[in-house]
Structure 1
Amino acid sequence: MADVPASEARRAFLRTLEKGQVRRGTVSSVSDVDALVDLGGFDGLLRTPEVSWQRREVPLGQVLRVGQDVTVTVLDVDADRDWLTVSLKSLRDDPFREFARTHLGHVVPGRVTKVASIGVFVRVHDHVEGLLPASELPEREDDDQHPAVGDVLVVEIADINLDRRRVKLALRDGG
């Protein structure tokens, strides 16, 4: 390949890759919003949302480090544009799907994480929050009786939308 221009060699390497393919690579760069993974001749872009199923609350540099060996799934390849995106999380089971399979209809305690005009958001499982709509809340005479952040409510997992990754809750006795 010494006679082949670098850009042509890169395109040739990209043509060997396919969407969905699993490859080993090495983290070559990390920023706050993404990382690059060297797949042996070409860096694939690893965006923050593709690192983990959990919401990222710490800088990416605390999760990945330059030189770290990783296994990724190829998400998109565009040899004409010299473009490659990869994913770490696609190789792991989606915890939201597991939650949906096992929790629909269950009555559970949950902690209020946010109060909004549309209702209250309640953490019902590790990294899973649901919305208890305002229409589910009993009418109260003063705001001191409405749920506040930190309160524990007893709720039913009433509906789960896998496509939108949303959980609808219903208030139950004890809440």
Structure 2
Amino acid sequence: MINPSTRGFFTSPGERRIRDHPVISRPHSKDEKGSVYPGVGFITVPELSWQYFDEVSEVVEIGQRVTCSVLCCDTAQGEARISLRALQPDPFQEFADAAREGHEFCGTVTKLVPFGAFVRIMEGIEGLVPLDELVSMPVETPEQVVQIGDRVKVTIISLDRDARRLLLALMTSGRRTAGSGTDASAPTSPKT
């Protein structure tokens, strides 16, 4: 059963509907040796999936049986913290194996924030284009340059594997990309 002290974490209608019901009724958890332990556990929202989602119900359903990895057990409190995403490969790490600074990608603008725009360059891989990397002229908001859903060409300016952060620069004709020293109109071949 979901711990009642977590009620403040649930904000969307789907999460409010789920909060009073067990999200995971009887998960099967595996330890490092592959042993299976049937039981009840709690999965925090970040441990559900590597992918971005708006509703918990996009990942799990009420009463669904799942196989998870045990993160920790508190026998005094009778709680088990478990993870679905621990059993899935991290798409960012796979991406980081092949991607390097200067590689170019076409992507879709997914979110605008006061300090820049997020661009999805592959399924499960999004990076931030900081406001000062959107155009060479200063702008106050990202809406002055791009809109959600726009297809854009970007280049990697920084990739931090440990923090799982990807910084991108928007490429426009004739603009030099940050860190690459090449003209954005010059063709390069990304290794993805």
TM-score, normalised via structure 1 length: 0.67
Q: How far apart, in 1, do the equivalents of 2:73 and 2:99 lie?
A: 37
Structure 1 unmatched runs, 5+: 1-29
The question of 1:37 aligning with 2:35 is answered no
Q: How far apart, in 1, do the equivalents of 2:144 and 2:110 lie?
A: 16
Q: The residue matched to 2:26 in structure 1 has which SS? A: strand
The residue number in structure 2 matching 1:55 is 52
Checking the alignment, whether the CA contact within 8 Å between 2:27 and 2:68 is kept in structure 1 is no
Q: How far apart, in 1, do the equivalents of 2:82 and 2:73 lie?
A: 9
Which of 116, 119, 124 does residue 121 from structure 2 map onto? 124
Q: How far apart, in 2, do the equivalents of 1:147 and 1:116 lie?
A: 11
Checking the alignment, whether the CA contact within 8 Å between 2:25 and 2:64 is kept in structure 1 is no
Checking the alignment, whether the CA contact within 8 Å between 1:32 and 1:61 is kept in structure 2 is no
Give matches, 1:71-150, under 5 Å.
71-105=67-101, 106-136=103-133, 137-139=135-137, 146-150=145-149
Q: How far apart, in 2, do the equivalents of 1:92 and 1:59 lie?
A: 17
Q: How far apart, in 2, do the equivalents of 1:118 and 1:141 lie?
A: 10
**Residue 38 of structure 1, CA deviation:** 4.9
- Kindly report the root-mean-square deviation, in angstroms, between the aligned alpha carbons of the 2 structures: 3.1
Q: How far apart, in 2, do the equivalents of 1:141 and 1:56 lie?
A: 30
- Greater strand share, structure number: 1
Structure 2 unmatched runs, 5+: 1-16, 29-36, 174-183, 185-192
- The residue type equivalent to 1:138 in the other structure is S
**Residue-by-residue CA offset, 1:19-59 (whole Å, 9 max, x unaligned):** xxxxxxxxxxx925943435567422123322221123344
